[in-house]
Chains A and B, each alone.
Chain A
């Protein structure tokens, strides 16, 4: 998805690349692979639902999956068939950019439902904001790697949104859930289950390691806010430093996702035992 978005932005000229090569061919190929992955995931989901005798449209995850599949089809097929794509370009661009957040929301929703049966809205909000933060961090990294005149402005917006989502969704909502629900309902189940280490090690580590993430996100936002546009465009060192910081924040988000999945799975196993 990131590669398809990046090559699309290079084609549009939004992202500058010194040696563009055959970007259109690459964009097309990545689009086909991505479309195939979406189709495969949808068929797999459909098969699982049918096996349980449930309708695909009965869940939000299924509905979003269907929307993603339709967008994927509308992105790939006309691009391969139409010879004059000029009139279709705006729609292609809008659908391409809208596909990314929908996919993140659906993936977070699916991951959450898959790991813990019975959705808790607060945990779901926590997961989705984490997923969107990861997407925004990838956006910042791309802007750093392919700097253009308006890259700094876009990276600033992405960093402010990242700081907001991490603070409101991950820190406050996740912390509230940890203090009110986890300690009284999930923790005893994990400790009584077959994987007590999921709380003793993973959760204990996650709850504290997480505190580093908002600090890094705020540092990144303040740095981008304070950075001069000329310094940003002319100084590769600054951009590399910001890329390292954004990569670190992305690593932290992915680590939190992994730890969250392990904890939720242990809770689920503990409840079954």
Chain B
């Protein structure tokens, strides 16, 4: 494979920018550096970028604004990993709502950053979603449930929230991004691997059964996730994207 992934690092701190760049280069990535939004746009226009590492706290245009603008422009499909200053659930949600694919909290280790970058690129390559869910909708409806993609809650018809664990949510996202399509355990495992997947791999079967329990899928009559013998699983409910105001 001759293609080298091209990562654009956007950070206003020169040292951090360069050190991150050096590390990523040493690990086989092609790296461009940008100090602000202007340089970032210039880099995007002159070369193909596979992923952007974007610092949230920057003078002038901050990372959140840059990310939002990016998602509205022609480079909307470039994955973004945010460098956030704060380890706070609310910030994470804001980052993901603005269209970031993942985030790393400062101060971070370069190894952690590299792992995230690789995971996000792999996910984007693996199986392009047939629904552009992440940008189109905050709420995804299927069966009697709605899935709130920013807060990771399932909502029942009365509006009561049933939170999902990170792994359950990622698995469900993979399913609703690819409805009516048989997904193998390997595909699911790869797509579901999240931030801490390198620490512990939970078997997909166990996760599926937990998710079924949460969705109220009866063992005999599986209305949501069907087992396809010797192939994997298929999400068999039609999926509806619901607007922001729903």
- Report whether chain A binds chain B: no
**Chain A residues in the interface with B (C-beta under 8 A):** none
**Chain B residues in the interface with A (C-beta under 8 A):** none
